[in-house]
């Protein structure tokens, strides 16, 4: 049995998305102590920015004319797709950066989505937890409401394209404490944090249980 | 005088965003025949995927301890920011890829946004045209309504963060003709195309005129 974990924070030492995902992972491991956890850290080791284009353009090239870069890019795409397809469950730890999807996350998604198996539904029904964090206040009525362009895209591609079985835990206001302008939100941030931790634990239990459910992917 | 043009298509040979931006550029050049056009193609020459993190992490490092990679990343960030700041007007040709902002566009934005001048408003009031294309049907009532996660993010960061003076021309349905499943939309696609071409020309004239307006940036 295996859990695939993707981390996208560029600063693991202080990462709030890692901390949230750790709670999910702990529940998984508690229920499946023999499970392998396969890790890929695209935050500190982003994929080459040329890979996706090389794979796409290789599709318009005859095999004999493929460049070495295109062959390497195809091999990397297959490796990344294998990691997802082979996993019994998937855990994604993804921060919001500059109000949009992290460039290295979009790149990873684009590369995996070149894989014919993933395009034809290989991830359908796969249990997935997304643990995501937002530095500022994006709650309804706040000035930045609607400025999180990462989570809605992730929901669309994970639920709508992969057709995976997605649970999301989101923690906002993570910059409270680091940004003095947000000091007035200290109590609210603590509540949001505690609620996110609780939900991460619940999602971790649900992820582990889904794997055990009758009819679960084997 | 100078126009800065950014292209993000990964396939210039068939690029619809380039074709749309060409109409904008032609109007600019017609009114400002002596203008320089500074070009950066991040579609075929994406920026390194490590640059943004290197710049961000360099901000947590003393100058004496900077790595060569961090120094190189800072220099690239300054070059990219200079290109935007020095331009009299900006033209962005950006396709939608996999329902989200192109990874290489997000990367470019993130890198430029590390620059202290841009953070403190150096692009405020700058005239910008965004020429963007979407392959499928994202119009209200269509199954993919709300799945364009690129244009809304671009509007937020260009208008809301840069506080630039933005005009947008968007062409949808560009896959009609290439994707037989969309053949029924042929007439609508032709109308959408013609309207986008007309709007690109109008935006090109407006961009050139803004540069001439009293009080324009010099």
Beta bridge partners of B36: B2
- What does the alpha-carbon distance between residue A123 and residue A116 come to, in Å, rounded to a whole number? 11
pLDDT at A215: 54
Q: What is the model's pTM? A: 0.96
Residue B90 CA neighbour count, 13 Å, CB half? 27
Q: Which helix (H) or strand (E) holds B3?
A: strand B2-7
Q: For residue A133, give both structure tokens.
A: 């964090």
Cα separation, B115 vs B108, whole angstroms: 12
How does residue B216 score in pLDDT terms, banded at 50, 70 and 90?
low
ipTM of the complex: 0.95
- What's the pLDDT score for residue A86? 97
B48 vs A52: CB contact, 8 Å cut-off?
A: no
Element (H, E) at B127: strand B127-133
A57 at interface of B, judged by CB pairs closer than 8 A: yes
CA distances from A11 to A15, A20, A172, B74 (A): 6, 14, 17, 18
pLDDT tens per residue across span B127-162: 999 999 999 999 999 989 999 999 999 999 999 999
| CA pair distance B33, A108, nearest whole angstrom | 42
In chain A, the residue whose alpha carbon lies closest to the alpha carbon of B106 is A103
Rounded CA separation A129/B158 (Å): 32
Tokens of B74: 């800072």
Is A149–B147 a contact, with Cβ atoms under 8 angstroms apart?
no
Name the stretches of chain A with pLDDT < 50.
Answer: 218
**Angle, vertex CA A109, rays to CA A104 and CA A111, nearest 5:** 95
Out of B48, B49, B149, name the one closest to residue A153 (CB): B149
Chain A interface mutation, best of B51, B102, B106, highest count of A Cβ atoms under 10 Å: B106
Mean pLDDT confidence for B30-41: 97
- pLDDT category at B54 given cuts 50, 70, 90 is very high
* Cα-based distances in Å from B149 to A96, A100, B27, B98, B155: 14, 9, 29, 9, 11
Among the partner-chain residues B98, B109, B147, the one whose CB lies closest to the CB of A110 is B98
Q: Which helix (H) or strand (E) holds A193?
A: helix A186-212
Residue A63: its pLDDT value, please? 93
| pLDDT of B105 over the 80 cut | yes
Q: So what's the pLDDT on residue A218?
A: 43
Q: How confident is the model at residue B213 (pLDDT cuts 50, 70, 90)?
A: low
Candidates B42, B50, B104, B44; CA nearest to B73 is B50
Question: B143 to chain A nearest CA, in Å?
Answer: 11
User: Cα A35 vs. chain centroid, distance in angstroms?
Assistant: 19
Of all residues in chain B, what percent are helix, strand and coil, respectively (each to 5)? 50, 15, 35
What is the rounded CA–CA span in Å between residue B161 and residue B88?
Answer: 18
Q: Helix %, strand %, coil % for chain A, to 5?
A: 50, 15, 35
**B138 lies within 8 A of chain A by CB:** no
Chain A touched by B168 (CB under 8 Å): no
B153 touches chain A (CB under 8 A): yes
Name the average pLDDT for chain B. Answer: 96
Q: Is any Cβ of chain B less than 8 angstroms from the Cβ of A50?
A: yes
- pLDDT tens column, A58-100: 999 999 999 999 999 999 999 999 999 999 999 999 999 999 9
Find the mean pLDDT for residues B20-35.
97
């Amino acid at each position: 049995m295996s859990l695939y974990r993707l981390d996208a924070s560029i600063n693991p030492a202080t990462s709030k998305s890692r901390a949230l995902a750790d709670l999910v992972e702990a529940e998984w491991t508690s229920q499946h102590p023999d499970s392998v956890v396969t890790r890929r850290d695209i935050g500190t080791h982003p994929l080459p920015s040329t890979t996706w284009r090389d794979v796409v353009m290789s599709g318009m090239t005859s095999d004999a004319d493929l460049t070495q870069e295109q062959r390497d890019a195809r091999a990397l795409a297959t490796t990344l797709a294998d990691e997802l397809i082979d996993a019994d469950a998937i855990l994604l730890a993804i921060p919001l950066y500059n109000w949009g999807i992290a460039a290295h996350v979009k790149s990873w998604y684009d590369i995996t989505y070149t894989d014919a198996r993933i395009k034809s539904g290989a991830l359908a029904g796969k249990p997935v937890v997304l643990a995501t964090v937002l530095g500022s206040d994006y709650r309804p009525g706040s000035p930045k409401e609607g400025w999180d362009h990462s989570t809605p895209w992730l929901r669309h591609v994970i639920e709508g394209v992969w057709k995976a079985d997605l649970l999301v835990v989101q923690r906002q206001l993570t910059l409270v404490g680091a940004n003095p302008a947000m000091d007035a939100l200290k109590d609210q941030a603590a509540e949001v944090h505690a609620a996110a931790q609780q939900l991460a634990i619940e999602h971790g239990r649900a992820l582990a249980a889904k794997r055990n459910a009758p009819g679960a992917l084997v």
